[in-house]
Structure 1
Amino acid sequence: MPRGAFSAVGIAAALSLALTACSSSSGAPSGPASGTGAAGGALVVGVTSDPDTLFPWKATQFQAVNVLQNLYGTLTEFDKDLNVVPGLAESWETSDDGKKLTLKLRQGVTFADGSAFDSKDVKDSLDKIMDEKTAAVARASLSSVKSVEASGPDTVELELSGPDAALPANLATVNMAMLSSDDTEEKLNATPNGTGPFTLGKRVPSQSITLTRNDKYWGAEKPKLASVEFRVIPDESSIVSAMQSGNVQLAVFNDPLVAQTAEGGGTIQVAKTPQLNYHALQLNAQHGDLKDVNVRLAVQCAIDRKQVLDTAALGEGEVTGPITAPAFKSDPNKRPCPARDLTKAAEYLAKAGKSGGVTIKTIVSQGEYATSVNEAQNLKAQLAEAKITLDLEVLESGAFVDRWVAADFDAAVALNGGRPDPDGSYGRYFTSKGNLNKVAGYSSPELDELFQQGKATTDQAERKAIYEKVGAELENNAAWIWLFAGYTYTATTSGVQGFVPMASGSLQYLRTTSVG
């Protein structure tokens, strides 16, 4: 790209073959179908849980992110192939020494309340995200930013401590949403005020949240749908029934068995999309027996990842290492115990002085994604054979997120969002100053240096070599236990057109969807 320090061309090339196999159909209206063709229509999307927050800087739950990315805008965006493209910044330029990023903003953009978007809002947003007191989940992604200046109404200059190849991609996540400088977290949790393709229409807690078309949206292609309702239906099988009866027109499933059931009826189309998201048993290396690397390695060696994949997801996916982005992908065979080895697990427990076994309190979410409990039960059964007891605590989605953000767990069975750039995926977790390092429970001076090197170079081959070293340290110390990357299954009823599933799991293409 002529703008900026980072290009996702390598990522796009790697993903394009996989994505071209995905269909781009979607669903239809609220209640029994009554769309108005390409010019409008009302779409009902079935979801298994209610968003736990409407404040974009703190959103980690998938359902919250999916709603908020349709309400808010970001400085950069990803296209369908995960290239970094202009968003609220129509262009950007990096200085020759890599220490200044100048953003040229779009003019004529307004927030949902009608107020104008300008450089003051960008400076205020970035300054607040960087402020530790805000507790923004993407704060570490701005670690290279020393200062932000609004040098004109449509120009913002970021002074950097050094080159940051990952920054343009990191600015594209909804956790970096641009907010009005007049708004507060309390106000936005009640009434979102963004620059996105939709605005908040109505919310019925634990039942539904309805978005309405933003007729003043800045994009060249205006949203077609008059409204999008995210309707809470507790499990995926019930969502299929609602689709068959015409009450729901679009849903994204995690469970391949549910997807097969949906498609088998003949009235629902299903698009299968490979994901950057990954399933993991997250270990908190600051808690109890898990402080000992030998205990963590024992856990790693006692798990047959393929068995977890086959049991929980019918084998739909692939065993993965830490980094799932195709341009930087980890080799899962380059880890201690690439295959299950109970003898080795016993040796590690003996080194830790725990030959009699250990018990690990483990939290599991129910409702955020469909395979979580099955994964947990399989892991529990496998680890029991190595004298490692997973004491499972199953929580509803919101309670799980609260415990997870507070690092109130020894281990967590989790589906974590992958990103096109490894810094965005892991810089906030596994660096000593990362704002989610408390959740990750592991860092080291070596990792700090590697992540810094990864930011400082724009050469793709050099960056790949650096992140290979990052993956090796995470695996060799069993920071977490990476299991598998799977698919999402986008189900739509007839008449829905224009929706594009993405490998990031984003629902941003609701803005191009119509109901016929």
Structure 2
Amino acid sequence: MPASPRRTPLSWIVLGTVTVASLTLAACSDANTSDSGGGAESDADAADLAPGGDLVIGVTSDPDTLYPWRATQFQAVNVLGNIYGTLTELDENLEVTPGLAESWDVSDDGLTVTFHLREGVTFADGSTFGSEDVVHSLETILDEETAAVARSSLARVETVTAVDETTVEVALSSPDASLFANLATVNMAMLSSDDTEDDLNTTPNGTGPFAFDERVPNQSISLARNDAYWGDPALLDTVEFRVIPDESSIVSSLQAGNVQMAVFDDPLVADTAAGADVTVTETPQLSYHVLQLNARRGPLSDVNVRLAIQCGIDRQQLLDTAALGEGEITGPITSPAYRSDPNARPCPERDVERAQEYLAQADVETPVVIETIVSQGEYATSVNEAQNLKAQLEEVGIVLELDQLESGAFVDRWIAADFDAAVALNGGRPEPDGMYGRYFTSDGNLNEVAGYSSPELDELFAQGLQATDEDERKGIYDDVARHLEDNAAWVWLFTGYTYTATHNTLHGFVPMANGSLQYLRTAGFTG
């Protein structure tokens, strides 16, 4: 379905600038950029944007946590990404750039990384950021008791040593080509060594362009400009994330001027938002819609049942029904440099007869009943997707029993792997190990959630981390995708778009393909 002429597309060409080399050890061994603190080219000249102003963003759900190391909900990640800093960052093209580390060096054997930290950086409470905070953060993320969702991204880290106040040395057990991209996520935020989880869930304390101001549970969370931020200070005085559960009410608030920004994933809602005073920008996303299968539970432990599900789904019908056809059918890896071929799977098109053949080979009673959790509120298409999947699979002899949950309850069940299947929207990443290593390796900290691992995948992921040649890495991750598809570990469906609606007085915000709202720091109002 063609995009509405009322929306402004942000082309896939932007993503095409991402190169494998920008994510490898070799390319990052001598990183240096200006101390601008990021900032993409604005849609209005920066000189035209007046400092000050209060931005209200309409959102459908409240963050379920304010502790960055455990944040998985999109809303929590978006809020915390503006409060906390990371050692590295991703720019608008998803290329790795310096963050709290202004440069780094890598030894010839790839086993030692030395980070050179920015001087004069402070946390929101006024305390100084330094090497002891980096050591504390990385070691605490590595501690299993922390239950950090990105722990597996540091699996090759053996020791973290503070050489001096602004220098940190990280020793690796083997080269890790994914390290620098993985360090750029808010799940790797650098926290003060003086803070506790209880402290931060009440009052976040970061080094980002905004500082936590106030929270009214289930109503709003407000941030204020951090005047001590190490980069260019934000233009906006405050940013309020206002909880408005109904998207049509967010649209009304946008059109009335009470809300100046919102991000939708439903193209129909986006079309209703566009108008004389509101512009909607369409951005393709790395995030992917997926039916997650727990291969360690009940009938799903039989690969034939999983393959029957995979072959019984018409992905294009699902995309047309749930998202008006706006998106692309996808395989496991959505990163442009490693993108999977969606045709390289059993049953690239729906094949009910083959699905039934797989089911007949399985040692299960039919109809097969699969308890399936569905999130309500975090993204708009979830319930429609679930109902369409249910209708399609009933023709095969598989019944999805849908359990619709509010966002927080869904995340709790998901983290606990308390489901047979889950209709999910997962965030994609430019680096495939960061995207899937924590899920599909035997020692991955989210492997229980993924519900599948194998010695072959363990070996492939290990090879991918050590390889630096672009073609070699692409081949390795093609093999990863093929194994996941051939075993129907999950059933990958489609990638979609986000639709960023902004009042026409707001400029300078750059939507990103990973869904980050980090460019709120360059946004401002015209005078």
With normalisation by structure 1, the TM-score equals 0.93
Contact 2:22/2:95 (8 A) holds in 1: no
Give yes or no for the alignment of 1:240 onto 2:251.
yes
Q: Decide which of 86, 103, 117 is 2:98's aligned counterpart.
A: 86
SS of 2:283's equivalent in the other structure is: strand
Distance 2:303 2:276 in 1: 51
Structure 1 398/276 Cα, relative in aligned 2: closer, same or farther at 3 Å?
same
SS of alignment partner, residue 149 of structure 2:
coil
Q: Which residues in structure 2 correspond to 1:49-448 (within 5 Å)?
A: 49-219=61-231, 221-263=232-274, 265-354=275-364, 356-448=366-458
Q: 1:283 to 1:24 in 2, by over 3 A?
A: farther
How big is the shift at 1:4?
6.8
For 2:378, the aligned partner's letter is E
Any runs of at least 4 consecutive aligned residues in structure 1 with deviations exceeding 3 A, and if so which?
1-4, 22-25
Task: Give the secondary structure class of the aligned counterpart of 1:54.
Answer: coil
CA–CA distance in 1 between the matches of 2:247 and 2:124? 32
Q: Which residue of 1 aligns with 2:9?
A: none
CA distance in 1, matches of 2:183, 2:473: 19
Deviations 1:191-233 (A, max 9, x none): 00000001111100000000000000001x2100000000001
1:39 counterpart (51, 71, 77): 51
Structure 1 vs Structure 2 CA RMSD:
1.6
When residues 371 and 24 of structure 1 are mapped into structure 2, their CA distance, relative to the original with a 3 A threshold, is farther
SS at match of 1:394: strand
Which amino acid is the alignment partner of residue 110 of structure 1? T
Residue 37 of structure 1: CA displacement? 5.0
Larger mean Cα displacement after TM superposition, 495-504 or 235-244: 235-244
**Which residue is 1:16 aligned to?**
none
The alignment partner of 1:159 has SS state of strand
Partners of 1:71 and 1:338 in 2: how far apart?
42
1:59 offset after TM fit, Å?
Answer: 0.1
Query: Secondary structure in 1 aligned to 2:72?
Result: coil
TM-aligned CA distance change 1:501 to 1:51, over 3 Å: same
Contact 2:23/2:181 (CA < 8 Å) preserved in 1? no
Tell me the CA shift for residue 326 of structure 1: 0.6
Alpha-carbon offset, residue 515 of structure 1: 1.7
Equivalent-residue separation in structure 2 for 1:258 and 1:44 (angstroms): 19
How many residue pairs end up in the alignment?
A: 492
1:484 aligns with 2:480: no
TM-superposed deviation, 1:480: 0.4
* C-alpha deviation, 1:2, in angstroms: 9.6
Any idea what the Cα deviations from partners look like across 1:161-193, whole Å, max 9, x if unmatched? Answer: 011000000000000000000011111000000
- Contact persistence 1:283–1:412 (CA under 8 A): yes
Cα gap change, 1:3 to 1:241, in 2 (>3 Å): closer
After TM superposition, list the pairs within 5 Å mapping 1:431-510 onto structure 2: 431-510=441-520
Q: Offset of 1:353 from its aligned partner?
A: 2.9
CA drift of 1:494 comes to 1.4
Please name the residue that 1:11 is paired with: none
Measured in 2, the distance between the counterparts of 1:2 and 1:482 equals: 27
Q: One-letter code of the match for 2:484?
A: L
- TM-superposition CA deviations, 1:423-454 (whole Å, max 9, x none): 01000000000000000000000100100000
Deviations 1:59-82 (Å, cap 9, x if unpaired)? 000000000000000000000000
Q: From the superposition, tell whether residues 77 and 376 of structure 1 become closer, same or farther in structure 2 (CA, over 3 Å).
A: same
Give 1:237 deviation, angstroms: 1.6
Asked if 2 retains the 8 angstrom alpha-carbon contact of 1:3 and 1:92, the reply is no
Query: How many Å separate the matches in 2 of 1:43 and 1:136?
Result: 31
In structure 2, what residue type is equivalent to 1:86? P
Q: CA deviation at 1:267?
A: 2.0
Return the TM-score normalized by structure 2: 0.92
In 1: Cα distance, 2:138 partner to 2:24 partner: 18
Q: CA deviation at 1:3?
A: 10
Residue 14 of structure 1 is matched in structure 2 by none
8 Å Cα contact 1:4-1:92 kept in structure 2: no
Q: How far apart, in 1, do the equivalents of 2:186 and 2:366 lie?
A: 46
Q: d(CA) in 2 for partners of 1:241 and 1:508?
A: 25
1:341 partner amino acid: D
Amino acid at match of 2:511: P
- For 2:52 and 2:296, the matched residues in 1 are separated by 52
Q: Give, in whole Å, the separation in 2 of the partners of 1:306 and 1:2.
A: 33
Matches of 2:405 and 2:254, distance apart in 1: 27
Where does structure 1 lack aligned partners over 5 or more consecutive residues?
9-19, 26-35
**Which residue of structure 2 aligns with residue 30 of structure 1?**
none
Q: 2 CA distance for matches of 1:243 and 1:5?
A: 44
Amino acid in structure 1 at the alignment position of 2:269: V
Q: Give the Cα–Cα distance (whole angstroms) in 2 for the partners of residues 141 and 393 of structure 1.
A: 31
Alpha-carbon distance in structure 2 between the residues aligned to 1:169 and 1:37: 31
- Alignment identity in percent? 69
Could you list the per-position Cα deviations for residues 361-414 of structure 1 after superposition, in whole angstroms to 9, with x for gaps in the alignment? 000001100100000010000001111100000000000000000000000000
Superposed counterparts of 1:1-12, under 5 Å: 5=25, 7=27
Q: Which amino acid aligns with 1:223?
A: A
SS in 2 for 1:157: strand
Residue 236 of structure 1: how far off its partner (Å): 1.7
Identify if the C-alpha distance between structure 1 residues 284 and 24 changes in structure 2 by more than 3 Å, giving closer, same or farther: farther
The answer to whether the Cα contact below 8 Å between 1:3 and 1:94 also exists between their aligned partners in 2 is no
Task: Output one character per residue of 1:34-66: Cα deviation in whole Å (capped at 9) or x when no partner.
Answer: xx9521100000100000000000000000000
Change (3 A) 1:512 1:23: closer
